[in-house]
Amino acid sequence: MIYKPFHNLNISQLGMGCMRLPTTGKGGPIDERKARELIEYAYEHGINYFDTAYRYHNGESEVFLGKILNQYPRESWYLATKMPGHMMRYNEGNLEFVGYLTGLKKTSPAEIFEEQLEKCRVDYFDFYLLHNVCETSYDLYTNEVLGIVDFLLEQKKAGRIRYLGFSAHGRAETIEKFLNWKDCFDFVQIQLNYLDWTLQNAKRKYEILVERDIPVMVMEPCRGGRLASLDEETNAMLKKARPNDSIASWAFRFVKSLPGVQVVLSGMTHIDQLKDNIKTFSDPTPITEEEIELLRKVVSRLVDLVPCTSCRYCCEGCPNNLDIPMLISLYNEFSFEPSPGLRFTIDALTDEETPSNCIACGECKKLCPQEIDVPVIMKKLSEAISNFR
């Protein structure tokens, strides 16, 4: 197992994500026998970073993970969980919950934090995150009256949190804005893989963190398993280059070779996935330039990308001030397969930001160095969003 230093810790570069543990049926409770086998095998083969969240597996994940990990010495494993602020609303002094937390009877973030400590059977969290900082959760997390971040910093000072960070499905600009708001975060978790490097502007998100010397925790390195098996011809291309390696290993080797990446999380459901990933993360050999070029060819086969370079010349001619590069990136996302985080991005669009505001005047098309037919793309994107909702 490859380990990377993090302050005074030595952390396995492969982390165990506990959102996709085996269950007794679709949407059913955790299959405790199979899940125990997974977590114990992971620990016994060198994985020491375990990631969960308040409502993973309908709230069971924290409880189950705490039960299994507490078999082992506390200092031998590192636990990460999250504050579900993306599912909170704060109105006139009242804390309310939405989405899958609708109806939750908690009156403060402190109540949730205390409950999490109890569920996980720990006195402190090694890593604690704000869950999903994005355009729709930004105001909640930065609300000084509610004071979530200040509360968590107090817990850190008291030794109940060792390192504080946040996960983010938001735009690169939102991540940068949040980091500028309060310079207190020890790490950041982003969706990063060789497809979203371009598709979701993950390259820029990664660069923002590296520029600030903030360690990167990677989620969705295999895009929810989508990059574990491609079409027959594309699989054959990768197998020809590395016949003894799985298709999934290409996705993991891409992210683990990035110098700013601290931990790569994988939500493993089956023991064979775990064994294959342990094999990948036991080989320190970095991905080569030739292999990266092959992955670029894979991406071009998977997605018919609109070749926007984000030069923003088009924006200068738009009478409705649309952020055309951002909207084209959304269109590119739809052209492959919408990721779980896409809904957060779409929900965050104001009425003025949606592609339906395009009046097809053609001024953007005249200014585009790539000669992209922007009005056609905006029309297609508007239809895709309507169908998605």
From 369, 267, 375, select the one nearest 324 (Cα to Cα).
375
Could you tell me whether strands 78-83 and 49-51 are parallel, antiparallel, or unpaired per DSSP bridges? parallel
**Residue 64 has which token pair?**
């189950």
- pLDDT for residue 251: 98
Q: How far apart are CA 141 and CA 6, in angstroms?
A: 26
Residue 377 CA, chain-centre distance (Å), reads 27
Residue 360: count of CB within 10 angstroms of its CB: 12
CA distance 10 to 16: 15
Q: Is the pLDDT of residue 147 over 70?
A: yes
| Per-residue pLDDT tens over the stretch 183-233 | 999 999 999 999 999 888 899 999 999 999 999 999 999 988 889 989 899
In the chain, the amino acid numbered 387 is N
**Is the pLDDT reported for residue 137 higher than 80?**
yes
Instruction: Retrieve residue 307's tokens.
Output: 């070749």
Write out the two tokens for 301. 């086969």
pLDDT over 90 (residue 339):
no
C-alpha–C-alpha distance, residues 30 and 323, integer Å: 43
Cα(181)–Cα(161) distance, integer angstroms: 21
pTM above 0.85, yes or no: yes
- For residue range 49-80, list pLDDT tens digits in order: 999 999 999 999 999 999 999 999 999 999 99
What pLDDT does residue 304 have?
A: 75
Residue with the larger pLDDT of the pair 198 and 179: 179
Q: CB-based burial of residue 191 (10 Å sphere; 0-12 exposed, 13-18 middle, 19+ buried)?
A: buried
Neighbours of 16 (CB within 10 A): 27
Q: What is the number of residues in the chain?
A: 389
The average confidence (pLDDT) of the chain is 94
d(CA 254, CA 266): 14
**Residue pair 222/228 in contact by the 8 Å Cβ criterion:** yes
**Domain range list for the chain:** 3-296, 313-388
* HEC profile of the chain: CCEEEECCEEEECEEEECCCCCECCCCCCECHHHHHHHHHHHHHCCCCEEECCCCHHHHHHHHHHHHHHCCCCHHHCEEEEEECHHHEEEECCEEEECHHHCCCCCCCHHHHHHHHHHHHCCCCEEEEEEEEECCCCHHHHCCCCCCHHHHHHHHHHCCCEEEEEEEECCCHHHHHHHHHHCCCCCEEEEECCCCHHHHCCHHHHHHHHHHCCCCEEEECCCCCCHHHCCCHHHHHHHHHHCCCCCHHHHHHHHHHCCCCEEEEEECCCCHHHHHHHHHHCCCCCCCCHHHHHHHHHHHHHHCCCCCCCCCCHHHHHCCCCCCHHHHHHHHHHHHHCCCCCHHHHHHHCCHHHCHHHCCCCCHHHHHCCCCCCHHHHHHHHHHHHHHHC
Angle separating helix axes 60-69 and 109-120, nearest 10 degrees: 40
Confidence at residue 340, expressed as pLDDT on a 0 to 100 scale: 66
> What superfamily in CATH does domain 3-296 come from?
NADP-dependent oxidoreductase domain (3.20.20.100)
Q: How far apart are CA 186 and CA 204, in angstroms?
A: 19
